[in-house]
Amino acid sequence: MASNNHESTSLNAEKSLFLASALFPSEEWIPTETNIWVAKSRLTQEKREPKKWEKEMSQVRILTSRGSVAYFLPENLVQGESGNLCADLVLDGEVVEMKTITGTRATLGGKFKQGYRQGALLLKNCTVTKKHSVFIRLLSDISVGSVKAKIAGELKKRHDEGSFICYFERIGELHIWTHEELRAIIGT
């Protein structure tokens, strides 16, 4: 999402704080590492679920090490939606849900749809933005082209703005495609 320069990082920090505060106006944001802030109400997760917390931190470090700025959101259920947690964070002024995937293309598609819904639900009543993204850390050996085609298919008949961000663990590459770019592949 971001490049490694001070001006870009500063702008990303402003955009992220603005959106995180608009979504959760009574929340306090605690700096935990360079370019990573956490909702005070979410800090209990570090002690309650240390393995989950470390997994989420390792995911977000992939992005913040490149100059992105992240605000971990409170772990709340979306109002009126039983069993649906809100998206994980605001990254560079955009809502992002993070997933780590092992398995097949079908698993990839299912986790992408779940993450997409989480972002859309969080922003359902938001007047600031409707743009949301999904970040997947892919541990499986699925090719870049295959991943791109699968997600393009999942975006068929979906019109939200945002991006699909994928870190291919086995080859050490980060790829970012806008939803518009992916929908163009399938012509919708």
DSSP state of 78: P
**What pLDDT was estimated at residue 105?**
95
pLDDT per residue of the chain (188 residues) written in tens, 0 to 9: 554 567 888 888 999 999 999 999 999 999 999 999 999 988 877 677 888 889 999 999 999 999 999 999 998 755 555 555 789 999 999 999 999 999 999 999 999 999 999 999 899 888 889 999 999 999 999 999 999 999 999 999 888 999 999 999 999 999 999 999 999 988 64
Distance of alpha carbon 10 from alpha carbon 31, whole angstroms = 15
Ranges assigned E (strand) in the chain: 29-33, 36-39, 70-72, 89-91, 94-101, 132-138, 163-168, 173-178
Domain boundaries, the chain: 6-186
Answer yes or no: pTM beyond 0.75.
yes
Distance of alpha carbon 113 from alpha carbon 124, whole angstroms = 16
Identify the residue whose tokens are 């949301």.
132
CA nearest neighbour of 119 among 88, 147, 93: 88
Distance of alpha carbon 67 from alpha carbon 8, whole angstroms = 8
